[in-house]
């Protein structure tokens, strides 16, 4: 349904004379199918949120193309077609405390998007839709919730409002950027379950962006692992997390704390520093931290290649 090809976004940093280029996202090819939940994981600064913003048309790609339902976004012309795309691919944000206007009731937050994106609805049609989406995200009774102000709702409820806002646009793909990381731990799982239910009932796809590998495993069908702006591994969730092939994924998975595992200090010690993404040289960006690095890693940037089980890995050594 959505596909990117060589998606790249650079930012210029520094002053006039010391101009440098920050490679936030480099050559990312990803696909998201209909009704699929894809998790995008990686450390902070790896380019996850930049991808979300590229997909939501907040940034324009430096290079590369996004294809949505067979049409390239760079040829999207005019307000009408941009609005139609934004309605089909809405975003849910990380911070539910600042993403809803505190001065208006919840109904306003949801109806406003419908006025902009769904010209087909009459006033009463919007009212019915408002009730439907609030019930859909579990904010019942809808007639009560829609008259509340944001400050009257808890963090988890506000995040549900975020999903209701997205649903009201009849989306095909919801880009959820760290939707649970600001929520109390006791209610995170409820929001994750909500995303799973919405996929079942509404057939929406999700791009679930997170740094929490365990929650990605809980929710997603497929996992994409990012490191320093590159996609380094991609495959079915259980394959990637139980048998990681890329050395970075292996490090990431082994670092996840698990109370159900045996007690004892974690053995492997990670040495090394976060990657340099300002004016990077060619070669694998994980190389300085990689225990398996070979000479080739210094000079040639590994491309994603497919392994036997349909998994794609960007590594010269992995097999």
Note the residues at the interface with another protein (CB under 8 A). 43-44, 154-157, 184-190, 192-193, 211, 213-215, 217-218, 238, 241-242, 251-253, 255-261, 263-266, 269-270, 273-274
Token reading at 8 = 């790249």
Q: Smallest distance, Å, CB 182 to another protein?
A: 11
Q: Smallest distance, Å, CB 238 to another protein?
A: 8
Q: Among candidates 219, 221, 127, 132, which has minimal Cα distance to 170?
A: 132
Q: Smallest distance, Å, CB 204 to another protein?
A: 19
Which bin fits 188, alpha (ψ -120 to 50), beta or left (φ > 0)? Answer: alpha
Four-residue CA torsion sign, 262, 264, 269, 275: positive
Closer to another protein by CB, 44 or 308: give it: 44
φ and ψ of 102, to 5 deg: -70, -15
Give dist(CA 112, CA 117) in Å, integer. 9
Closer to another protein by CB, 25 or 241: give it: 241
Closer to another protein by CB, 69 or 238: give it: 238
Q: Smallest distance, Å, CB 226 to another protein?
A: 11
Strands 63-68 and 2-13: antiparallel
Q: Smallest distance, Å, CB 100 to another protein?
A: 16
Checking 17-26 for CB contacts under 8 A at 24+ apart, the result is 20/278, 20/279, 21/278, 21/279, 22/277, 22/278, 23/228, 23/229, 23/277, 23/278, 23/279, 23/280, 24/50, 24/229, 24/277, 25/50, 25/51, 25/54, 25/229, 26/229, 26/230
Give dist(CA 208, CA 174) in Å, integer. 8
Closer to another protein by CB, 33 or 190: give it: 190
Closer to another protein by CB, 41 or 174: give it: 41
Closer to another protein by CB, 58 or 214: give it: 214
Q: Smallest distance, Å, CB 40 to another protein?
A: 14
Closer to another protein by CB, 263 or 295: give it: 263
């Amino acid at each position: 349904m959505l596909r990117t090809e060589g998606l790249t976004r650079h930012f210029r940093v520094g002053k006039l004379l010391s101009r440098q280029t920050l490679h936030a996202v480099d050559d990312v090819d990803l696909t998201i199918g209909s009704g699929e939940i894809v998790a995008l994981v990686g450390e902070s600064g790896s380019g996850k949120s930049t991808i979300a913003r590229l997909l939501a048309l907040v940034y324009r790609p430096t290079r590369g193309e996004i294809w949505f339902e067979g049409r390239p976004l760079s040829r999207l012309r005019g307000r009408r077609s941009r609005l139609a795309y934004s309605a089909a691919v809405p975003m849910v944000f990380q911070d539910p405390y600042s993403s809803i206007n505190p001065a208006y009731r919840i109904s306003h937050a949801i109806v406003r998007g419908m006025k902009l994106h769904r010209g087909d609805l009459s006033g009463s049609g919007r009212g019915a839709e408002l009730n439907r989406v609030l019930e859909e995200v579990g904010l019942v009774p809808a007639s009560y919730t829609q008259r509340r102000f944001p400050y009257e709702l808890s963090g988890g409820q506000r995040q549900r409002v975020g999903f209701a806002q997205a649903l009201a646009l009849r989306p095909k793909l919801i880009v959820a950027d760290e939707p649970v990381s600001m929520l109390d731990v006791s209610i995170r799982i409820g929001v994750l379950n909500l995303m799973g239910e919405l996929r079942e009932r509404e057939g929406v796809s999700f791009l679930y962006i997170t740094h929490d590998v365990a929650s990605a495993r809980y929710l997603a069908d497929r996992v994409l692992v990012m490191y320093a702006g590159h996609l380094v591994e991609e495959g079915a969730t259980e394959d990637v997390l139980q048998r990681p092939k890329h050395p970075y994924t292996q490090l990431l998975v082994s670092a996840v704390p698990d109370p159900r595992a045996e007690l004892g200090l974690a053995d492997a010690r990670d040495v090394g520093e976060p990657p340099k993404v300002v004016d990077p040289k060619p070669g694998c960006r994980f190389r300085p931290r990689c225990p398996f690095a070979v000479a080739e890693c210094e000079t040639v940037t590994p491309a994603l290649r497919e392994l036997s089980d349909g998994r794609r890995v960007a590594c010269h050594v992995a097999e």
